[in-house]
Amino acid sequence: MKKLPDKSMDLIFADPPYWMRVEGKLTRVEGTDYDGCDDHWDNQFKDNEDYNEFTRKWLKECKRLLKPNGSIWVIGSMQCIYSIGSIMQELGYWFINDVIWHKKNPTPNFMGTRLNNSHETLIWATVSEKSKYTFNYKTAKELNTDTVSEEDYNKGVRKQLGSVWRIGICQGNERLKKDNGEKLHSTQKPEELLRRIIAISSKVNDIVFDPFGGTMTTAAVAKKMGRNYITIEREKEYCEYGQRRLDEILPIIGDIEKAVFDIKPLKVSMEEMIEAGYFKLGETFYLKNSTPGGKLEANGKLLYNGEVIDMHTCAALVKGGKAKRVNGFDFWHVLREGELVSIDKIREQYRANKIQAPK
């Protein structure tokens, strides 16, 4: 990490050793051994002070590498996430959210001695309070299948993505296996988890950095989504299998990857649409129920009851009620071939034609 340049990363995802403190042998209910996370890289720490010093070092480097408007996501379990969060605040990171990864298919608590551990915690942060970080808000809504039923989603219902994500653990064909069929890595994360993070916190061609590469899930998803990636992994075996995984991936860049839902529409004025012939001087603006409002002036305002006022205030007046101003594009219609047509629809037609017009 120390060889990488300052302020060079747009997004960092860190999945550090959790230091699970696993002791003894775990046995499933039917008597078979459970091979949990007892790898040497997770059990290398002597005590809390040793783990915290390790954490402080890599978080300090991440802060140096992160661009001023970049984001960092760190994942951890109950054994480590509170220490990590404390050190992040100590180093000056600014917290945006904590997210609960609620595992739809968690590993059971075989001994029955405590609650089933069915979640992990992610911290989303920036280098400072002033960071103008990427947040593809509408794209996040498109990804929200946690609080919207499949039926409603298919009808076009979209809700804000919350901070509890219901995603299954990595399993099946997605989990990397060694050539002998054994599981390669004990804590491989599901691609769906990384897809959400990368989709809402970065743009196409951004650089995504993972200092704990493991099975290269972050790099794999970044490549699929058209991002650049840098990942570090010291275990030779993980690097070899991870490289195979990456070599097989081809980018698939659709609307989610491009965050088209968050692209701001082309700004256009009533004056230019009048000049282009999309609206006519003196034509009457109507509400959807055919109630007439003002008549269009050259400056894009409406003449109503002898007074020239903006269309938004005029819409509120004609509608009645307490609002002094509404978005006129949501309410006004004009006559086209004997039928009322929304002025917002006409504006969209103008925008589309303007974008397609040769420069």
Tell me, letter by letter, the H, E, C secondary structure of 259-271.
CHHHCCCCCCCHH
The rounded Cα 187 to chain-centroid distance in angstroms is 22
What is the model's pLDDT at position 46? 79
Domain boundaries, the chain: 9-262, 270-356
Packed helices 236-247 and 217-224: angle between N→C axes, nearest 10 degrees:
20
pLDDT digits (tens, 9 = 90+) for 172-223: 888 889 999 888 878 899 999 999 999 999 999 999 999 999 999 999 999 9
pLDDT for the residue 22: 56
Among 60, 58, 47, 59, smallest CA distance to 19 is for 47
pLDDT, position 27: 44
Give the span between the Cα atoms of 116 and 131, in whole angstroms.
37
Whole-prediction pTM value? 0.79
- Hey, is 226 helix, strand or coil? coil
- Name the phi and psi angles at 60, rounded to 5: -65, -40
37-58 pLDDT tens trace: 456 645 677 788 999 999 999 9
Per-residue confidence (pLDDT) for residue 59, from 0 to 100: 98
* pLDDT, position 268: 94
Please report the pLDDT score of residue 357 as a whole number.
67
Amino acid (1-letter code) at residue 276? A
**So what CATH class is 9-262?**
alpha beta
Residues of the chain with pLDDT below 50 are: 24-34, 37, 41
Burial grade of 64 (CB within 10 A; 0-12, 13-18, 19 or more): middle
Q: What is the predicted pLDDT for the residue at 195?
A: 98
